[in-house]
Structure 1
């Protein structure tokens, strides 16, 4: 239990967005992807997900960890089948945002969602590091109440609304972790994550990578940070995290690139350089390979998702 408490205490949680969504017509997104984690409450209708087309029942909660693509179907009936790129372009054909005060009155199929980050020591994406698939939490009145508070406060003009959103998003993450522990889900992955707290050299590597994404992050450099041999550092990093350091570095670079696309008007070229890619064309190829869409369309996607 002590290790679990350390995990929870180490998590840096950041609220991203929350919406109530009417499903205007059914669709399947074959490679749905988001950097952030998403927790979805199905209020009415149908949602299915994953390779086995698993159903989410009305009132159930679906958790989709960030950083992995999945297939997801919204709405009943024969769906249009789109990839993530096509969905971004045609989002308004399928989804309509509505105010939380309309929730009880709407007769359309609809769901509510909250998206957030959860990082270990503000460096490692916790749920992504578990390498877990989306899963159904089921009916959970506590989680549903927290989500509704976040949805309501996120559009409130009352004093302190941002603080309420922040506190409740942290509470949401604690409840998700508790659900995982209570139901003994992904026990081996959680045990692996607990190693982050037992070797300060690994934390030094995480912090160095975070602060130097634009620079040289070769195994030689990481070895000097951790005070281990260059031949051993890759094995050491993978033994503790389950991923080799260069794959981890690329994910961190791309995640920062997404953040810059969302929050700045910097050019794709400048963003690529800022996250360590001198060759813009190579950066764009790697970005599309990781996220399934070009960097420019990712920027458009974020503007549409925040409408």
Structure 2
């Protein structure tokens, strides 16, 4: 009953609370419902799959269905909690229009995280409070209350995925920056997508998606681009041979380097060097020019 399954378009509230707790320990458990735990004051400890997280004010955790988790409170802490089922059976809330309209939902559904710990990036806390207040204080089940409940639930889901996407974006930039730094530091070595993904700490499918989103390049094209940039620098600023430059830039043969270079710059590396090169020849004056006390350049013979 994962919220990320496209066919699960309907939702139903199954539990909610707003509690101020001082000492509380809810053992490891799981359920079919998705869950949001949001801290408004104080802090609490959440354990998910043996990973411990401390939630503080305006932080929350979202748990997809059937994710084992544990809650421990050791000091004064106010927690808002919402649990809801999603599925194919017609129920209280139809999520289909929201899923189609929310770019944030579509972004998160690409990676399908089992759980995310995040900050409230906009108004999730207010959305949960308003929904719980309505559910707690409504005296009758009128069509007006039903309509308002639907609006507040949809608002909460929108705010949830906005916060999740914001957290995903920040993490995505960290992953991309780490991957780029690794690539640039290892251009001379054999670089593979699994190797880069392992270094960054994410799976290769997610890495591919991040590169597409943030650089508009595939990983292979990005590596080739960086190797060509290094080759151009060496052609202009060094006296190294074309073969040396090819291997130093990470190409496995001079021929492959020359073919790739000409394909991208419409000229062979040697012609590029002639056109742009600024290499310095050895001085013929056999000395060093220094600025003297009279602000004139004078020749000092090298010993």
TM-score (norm 2): 0.35
Which structure's CA Rg is the greater one?
Answer: 2
Q: Which has the higher contact order (CA 8 A, sep 6+)?
A: 1
| Greater helix content | 1
TM-score (norm 1): 0.34
